[in-house]
Amino acid sequence: MQKLTGKQARFLRGLGHHLRPDVMIGKEDLTQTVIQAADASLETKELIKVKLLESCYSDRKEVAAELAAKSNSQIAQILGRTFLLYRPSKEKIIKLPA
């Protein structure tokens, strides 16, 4: 998967602004269940918002990078305790700018 360009990341951030979090990460950090939930959401929606709850003491950037790697997705944005993950599906729901 090729890296997102700045233009593509901005486009995805715009789409993700109004999304509600699909996945919540709590005190148990990244469990297999969280990874599976993110994977399933990415397959149907392509762009998901993930929220780190106050009980999660891990570094947000490390958690985002690890979840992106395990779900074969890319980080479109990290803002506060939320981040956006993007992975194109077979149906290509989101048309990225060139």
Residue 21 lies in a domain: yes
For residue 76, give every residue at least 6 positions away whose Cβ sits within 8 Å of its Cβ, in sequence order, or none. Answer: 4, 9, 12, 13, 16, 47, 83, 84, 85, 86
Residue 97 lies in a domain: no
pTM of the complete model beyond 0.85: yes
Residue 29 Cα distances to 5, 23, 56, 96, angstroms: 29, 12, 6, 31
Residue 59 lies in a domain: yes
| pLDDT at position 39 | 94
| pLDDT at position 90 | 83
| pLDDT at position 91 | 82
51 touches 16 (CB < 8 A): no
Give the containing element (helix H, strand E) for 11.
helix 6-16
Which residues of the chain are modeled with pLDDT < 50? none
Q: In which domain, by residue range, is 69 found? A: 6-86
For the domain that residue 45 is a member of, what is the CATH number? 3.30.110.60
